Chain A
Amino acid sequence: MKRALPIFTVLLVLLIAIAASNPYFLEPPGFLAFLKRAAPLAILAAGQYFVIVAGEFDLSVGSLVTVEVVVAARLIDGDDSATWPVLALLIVIGLLVGLANGVITTALAVPSFITTLGMMLILSGAVFLWTGGAPRGALSEGFRAFGREELGPIPWSVLILLVVGAVAILLMRADFGRTLIAAGDNRRAASLSGVRVHRATIFAFAISGLSAAIAGILLGGFAGVSAQIGQGLEFQAITAVVLGGVVLGGGRGSVVAAMAGALTLEALFTLLNLHGISGALEFTVQGVIIIAAVAVGAVRLPFRPGASISPPMLKTKETP
């Protein structure tokens, strides 16, 4: 939990800064609107956390989100009665893609960076091959409700975010979570002490795929259908997780902090917008802040000689 502290401080400071220039933010509707906007990224970050803590990457989530939305639009095509079967199909697609990522990474010993990079190309190519280059069809009202409507005062997406967060915390407290952290910290030691590293890793990828499916459903409802809807989300999700103090290379960090990282990123966007730094320069500020935040986090780390998972280098661990 010690590592997670800085991110909550930063998040709090950002939220106060937003509230200072926009008092509406302090009222429940204002804050809920913020959470609603942040929900897809926070859910993606939760999924990405499982993969990263196991020492892997998932670069395919951005194009998977696009696939989910485009597939939903074409299959539903405005027909409300198709909503639920398509939702089920989307979840299955997410799980299958994650499963494929996991199996290729573990059984074929392909570094996950490459597996998921290949998957990213395959997914975006395949979906537009199927629709002929541009998204077609339309989402139903029932489908869009998840992303943009409320249950009483609380948006659906916030409720879903809470459920995802709770499930993620429970998973990390269960045996599975310990297994995953052990696998990410030292794969060889974990496997020698009887941890089924491959199975845990595959499961982590499946969770990431599932989270991309849920994020896609929410984003499709929130923002509507477009071919660019998932663009760059993989980098945002990884950034969010790392902002939350989770170490690339695996073995440390908490899922709550990863989700807080996503909220921080979203709060940063909001704040930049409020202060008129919108458009392109937003990226520059974002870049500086990400580097600074991770650098500060790295300095706090106690020096551990011989730590192969120390942040500066990209080490994709080999499976034994």
Chain B
Amino acid sequence: MKARPQAVQLRGGRVIAHLRDPAQAIYLALFAVLIIGWVLVTIDGGQFVTTENIVGIQQRSAALGIVAVGQTLAILAGSLDLSVAYLISLTSLVAAEAMTGGGMVPAIAVVLAVSALVGMVNGLVITKLKVHAFIATLGVALIIKGVVEHRYDGPAGDVTDSFQRLGYDRIGPVPVSALLWAGVAVAVWFLLRRTRLGYRIYAVGGDEEVARLSGVRTDRVVISAHVLCSICAGIAGLLLAARLGAGSPTVGTDGGYDLESIAAVVLGGTALAGGRGGVAGTVGGVLLLAVLDSIFNQLEVNSFFKDVVRGVVIVVAVAVYARRARERRTTA
């Protein structure tokens, strides 16, 4: 019932079609939501397909999208990361503080180093100390929370003007932040589908014991997945710092990036238990959440109602995937 290692499955075309199934489903759902939203907004007397709106959807989804792509790696490896929200706050502050003192490039380097370090700690605690990923990353989240809230009461630091352009500039209807997200997504897609580490992430997530017995150094794979996941969170922190013009101790938790990114990944058809799914689905999941948000904003729906719908959508989507998976098993 667990997926076999990806490397084996990639050779059968039919199997690939099956694997891509949830990703296709999420894009169909996205398309349907776009049509329904367009109809509803038009009936409401508004205009759905405006440049402003299209840019808004991309802007809204970029930060969550980058985090969710990273979270995909952790979840595919059979783990998960609850520390991303606080890490985003931390890296936004580190970016802004470092930029106040030095230049843009060293600041980015420091942020990436800090996030890689946090990811390394997550991975080491999970693999070497044998602490369940849930508790390990929750513990690391608390550690970061304490440090951040102890040192900062409010926004701090200052980013350079040229760096701020990352947050709001756009090329035609495409914001730079969306390009950054696309870049991260393509890089991770390439990693998962074309590199040895990618195959091993699927193998470890599918069945850790089988992977180990096949000669995969599972610890290294899990640690790498966590380092990459944290680096993605760090990139999101950079993006948010650029947008705010400063670092903020609450920017990560206000966005609810920890649970929201996990929800987006699962919405995109990646199995929470690991080993099945991919980046394409995650991107679709994030876009679906952003489009829903945009429709609700245009219809001026109460924000609490949005939460209710969001919760229902996530549960229903996963129920549908579970049903399809079961049908596939019985017909296979």
Binding site for B on A (CB under 8 A): 57, 59, 104, 108-111, 113-115, 117-122, 124-126, 128-129, 133, 235, 238-239, 242, 247-249, 279-288, 290-291, 294-295, 298-299, 301, 305-306, 308, 310-318
- Quick check: B146 and A281 within 8 Å, CB to CB? yes
A192, B125: Cα distance in complex, Å: 36
- Quick check: A308 and B307 within 8 Å, CB to CB? no
- Quick check: B130 and A312 within 8 Å, CB to CB? yes
Cβ of B28 within 8 Å of any chain A Cβ, yes or no, is no
Please indicate the chain A residues that have their CB under 8 angstroms from the CB of B322 in the complex: 108-110
Please indicate the chain A residues that have their CB under 8 angstroms from the CB of B138 in the complex: 235, 238-239, 287, 290
- Quick check: B143 and A129 within 8 Å, CB to CB? no
Picked from B129, B134, B147, B272, the residue with its CB within 8 Å of the CB of A114 is: B272
Given A133-B304, A294-B131, also A284-B146 (CB < 8 A): yes
Closest-CB distance, A112 to chain B (whole angstroms) = 10
Please indicate the chain A residues that have their CB under 8 angstroms from the CB of B305 in the complex: 125, 129
Given A129-B304, A314-B80, A315-B273, also A121-B314 (CB < 8 A): yes
Q: 0/1 per residue, B116-147, Cβ < 8 Å to A?
A: 00000000011101111111101111111111
Cβ of B263 within 8 Å of any chain A Cβ, yes or no, is yes
A109, B320: Cα distance in complex, Å: 9
Cβ of B233 within 8 Å of any chain A Cβ, yes or no, is no
A135, B154: Cα distance in complex, Å: 26
| Pairs across A and B, CB under 8 Å, 30 listed | A108-B322, A109-B322, A109-B323, A111-B272, A114-B263, A114-B272, A114-B314, A117-B311, A120-B259, A121-B307, A122-B312, A124-B304, A238-B135, A238-B138, A239-B135, A248-B135, A279-B149, A279-B150, A280-B150, A282-B146, A283-B146, A287-B138, A287-B146, A291-B135, A294-B131, A311-B131, A312-B126, A312-B133, A312-B222, A314-B274
Cβ of B290 within 8 Å of any chain A Cβ, yes or no, is no
- Quick check: A318 and B315 within 8 Å, CB to CB? no
Interface size class of B (residues with CB under 8 A): 35 or more
Picked from A110, A290, A301, the residue with its CB within 8 Å of the CB of B315 is: A110
- Quick check: A109 and B129 within 8 Å, CB to CB? no
- Quick check: A248 and B132 within 8 Å, CB to CB? yes
Q: 0/1 per residue, B287-320, Cβ < 8 Å to A?
A: 0000000000000001011111111101100110
Picked from B79, B146, B263, the residue with its CB within 8 Å of the CB of A117 is: B263
- Quick check: B139 and A310 within 8 Å, CB to CB? no
Please indicate the chain A residues that have their CB under 8 angstroms from the CB of B150 in the complex: 279-281, 284
A288, B131: Cα distance in complex, Å: 12
**Across the A-B interface, the 9 shortest Cβ-Cβ residue pairs:** A284-B146, A125-B307, A287-B142, A121-B311, A280-B149, A283-B146, A118-B315, A122-B311, A287-B143
